[in-house]
């Protein structure tokens, strides 16, 4: 398994590189080869996705896609809400740690709000 490096497109002071899970490329960007499941959608712009730190994709920012949660590496409503809860309350906060937006306090008809 390899990690694919891409130059981050949003302006940052140190012009750092972001490590992106290769599975994310299979579902997103102009060369996506796999389809989203459930209520997921792909982002046609990898640059925009990376600039937004892959918010809405299950996983730890862009570095890992947790395909086992939502069955793909696509954007999902519940995952996006969960990322917002984590941003607001911190990663160690109760909403983030308990999966709020995905496992509970959901807004769709799916068992997991993916």
Residues 85-109 have pLDDT tens digits of: 999 999 899 999 999 998 888 887 7
Q: End-to-end CA distance of the chain: give it in Å, rounded.
A: 25
What is the Cα Rg of the chain in Å?
A: 14
- Residue 7, phi then psi, degrees to nearest 5: -75, 130
The whole-angstrom separation of Cα 75 and Cα 34 is 13
pLDDT one-digit tens code per residue, 66-88: 999 889 999 999 999 999 999 99
Would you state the structure tokens that stand for residue 29, as one six-digit string?
Answer: 């960007």
Which stretches does DSSP call E strand in 14-114? 17-20
Residue 110 pLDDT class (50, 70, 90 cuts): low
- Model confidence pTM above 0.85: no
What pLDDT score does 26 carry? 96
Over residues 22-60, the pLDDT tens digits come to: 999 999 999 999 999 878 999 999 999 999 999 999 998
């Amino acid at each position: 398994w390899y990690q694919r490096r891409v130059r981050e497109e949003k302006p940052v002071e140190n012009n750092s590189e972001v490590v992106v899970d290769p599975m994310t490329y299979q579902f997103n960007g102009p060369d996506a080869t796999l389809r989203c499941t459930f209520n997921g959608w792909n982002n046609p712009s990898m640059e925009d996705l990376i600039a937004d730190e892959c918010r809405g994709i299950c996983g730890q920012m862009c570095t890992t896609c947790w395909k086992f949660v939502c069955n793909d590496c696509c954007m999902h409503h519940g995952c996006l809400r969960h990322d917002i809860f984590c941003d607001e309350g911190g990663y160690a906060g109760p909403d983030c740690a308990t999966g709020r937006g995905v496992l509970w306090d959901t807004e769709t008809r799916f068992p997991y709000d993916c």
